Amino acid sequence: MLPTKLLDEVQKYIDGEYIYIPRKYCNKKSWGENTETKRYIDHRNFCIYKEYKNGISIKQLSEKYYLVEKSIQRIIRQEKNKK
C-alpha cells in the first residue's frame, strides 16, 4: 500500500514491528461529547450551586451528591465564576 521507497525508509527504523501513524486531521471531540456525561455533570454542578445559594450547607451537599467537601467547594467556586 505504501510506495516502495517510503516502505524501505520505514523498514530502516522499524522492521517487522508495529507502527502507529496518527490521523492527519483528527476531529477529536472533547471529553464527554460522545455521551451525556458532560451535560449531566454540568447540570449537577448547576444544581449544587443553586442549592448552596438557597442555604444548603456544604456538608449536606457533600452527603447528598456523594462528593467530598473540597469538591463541593470547587464546584461552587467554578459556578460562581461563570456568572
User: Residue 48: which domain range?
Assistant: 4-82
Task: Catalogue the long-range contacts made by 73-78 (C-beta closer than 8 Å, 24 or more residues apart).
Answer: 75/45, 75/48, 75/49, 76/48, 76/49, 76/52, 78/45
pLDDT score of 37: 87
Q: Which pTM value belongs to this model?
A: 0.62
pLDDT score of 83: 65
Task: Choose among 79, 26, 29: nearest CA to 52.
Answer: 79
Domain count, the chain: 1
Residue-by-residue pLDDT tens, the chain, 83 positions: 789 998 888 888 888 888 887 777 766 777 677 778 888 999 999 999 999 999 999 999 999 999 999 999 999 999 999 86
pLDDT score of 22: 74
pLDDT score of 24: 73
